[in-house]
């Protein structure tokens, strides 16, 4: 089974319409749909917004089953100088907890500087950076990029940053981007990545870009465009899944 996770229904409505033979149930307290897309057995979990909801939902899911891969998807905000524009697609190479730490007079101190690991993996402490078990990034990029280019859109891979406090000012966005080298901001990814890592489950994270981080101006946002592009990408992957997972 391929497990799909999205924070909200609005980010996953097109996926739901593509599913056949749907059954609805619960995974803990979280809504879970089961069905097929392009012949592949899939589940769609709506985890809710934020790190805690994402971690609880993913733990509930992976405690019950060990999927072939988890695909986390939704909207994201592009950081300055990432090269991403609204309507582009981003794929995570790693996840970073962007605001776990302390804001001090001398600047931001992350968890490693504080000496407080958040988890461990293969007997090594994990601080703000959470690696992804994702062997198929190159194949996925090669599959999706030509179609996006034909539409005048870009696909960029790089570190994603997960925050509880979004970057709603230019100075805040620039500071996080410089500190993390992140390309895309979200509110769930690092939590899902941490749980997947502990369960040794592969994670692929895709985000459609809905906005630029920085001084907040909702008139420049395009959530429908972002959700459309990321869900179309997932459906394209599932239509040729064997090619996507070739390593």
- For residue 245, what pLDDT is reported? 63
Q: How would residue 136 be classed by pLDDT, with cut points 50, 70 and 90?
A: confident
Q: What is the mean pLDDT of residues 67-89?
A: 97
Q: What's the pLDDT band for 140 if we cut at 50, 70, 90?
A: very high
Query: Domain spanning 73-244 has what CATH number?
Result: 3.40.50.1580
Using DSSP bridges, classify how beta strands 2-6 and 69-78 pair: parallel, antiparallel or unpaired: parallel
What tens digit of pLDDT does each residue of 63-72 get? 988 899 999 9
Q: What is the pTM of this model?
A: 0.95
Give domain limits for the chain: 73-244
pLDDT of residue 246: 56
Is the pLDDT at 9 greater than 90? The verdict is yes
Residue 189 half-sphere exposure toward CB, CA atoms < 13 A: 35
Residues whose CB is less than 8 angstroms from the CB of residue 135 and which lie 6 or more positions away in sequence, other chains included: 202, 245, 247
**Helices (H), ranges, the chain:** 13-18, 51-64, 111-114, 137-150, 170-180, 189-199, 223-239, 241-244
Look at residue 102 and tell me whether its pLDDT is greater than 60. Answer: yes
Q: CA-to-CA distance for 33 and 22, rounded, in angstroms? A: 6
CA 225 to chain CA centroid, Å, is 17
- DSSP helix/strand/coil, 228: helix
pLDDT in tens, 159-168: 999 999 999 9
Confidence (pLDDT) at 247: 46
Contact 164, 157 (CB under 8 A): no
Tell me what pLDDT residue 242 has: 78
Mean pLDDT of the chain: 95
Residues 180/213, Cβ–Cβ less than 8 Å: no
């Amino acid at each position: 089974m391929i497990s799909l996770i999205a924070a909200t229904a609005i980010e996953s409505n097109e996926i739901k319409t593509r599913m056949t033979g749907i059954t609805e149930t619960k995974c803990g307290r979280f809504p879970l749909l089961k069905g097929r897309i392009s012949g592949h057995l899939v589940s769609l979990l709506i985890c809710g917004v934020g790190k805690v909801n994402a971690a609880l939902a993913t733990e509930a899911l992976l405690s019950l089953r060990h999927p072939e891969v988890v695909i986390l998807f939704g909207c994201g905000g592009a950081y300055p100088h990432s090269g991403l524009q609204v309507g582009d697609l981003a794929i995570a190479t790693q996840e970073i907890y962007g605001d776990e730490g302390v804001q001090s007079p001398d600047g931001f101190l992350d968890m490693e500087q504080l000496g407080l690991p958040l988890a461990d993996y293969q007997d090594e402490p994990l601080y703000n950076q959470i690696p992804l078990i994702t062997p198929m990034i190159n194949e996925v990029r090669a599959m999706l990029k030509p179609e996006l280019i034909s539409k005048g859109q870009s696909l960029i891979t790089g570190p994603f940053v997960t925050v509880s406090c979004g970057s709603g000012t230019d100075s805040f966005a620039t500071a996080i981007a410089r500190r993390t080298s992140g390309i895309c901001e979200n509110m769930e990814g690092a939590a899902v990545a941490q749980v997947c890592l502990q369960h040794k489950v592969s994670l692929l994270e895709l985000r459609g870009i809905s906005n630029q981080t920085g001084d907040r101006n909702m008139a420049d946002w395009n959530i429908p465009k972002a959700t459309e592009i990321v869900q179309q990408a997932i459906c394209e992957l599932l239509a040729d899944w064997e090619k996507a997972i070739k390593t």
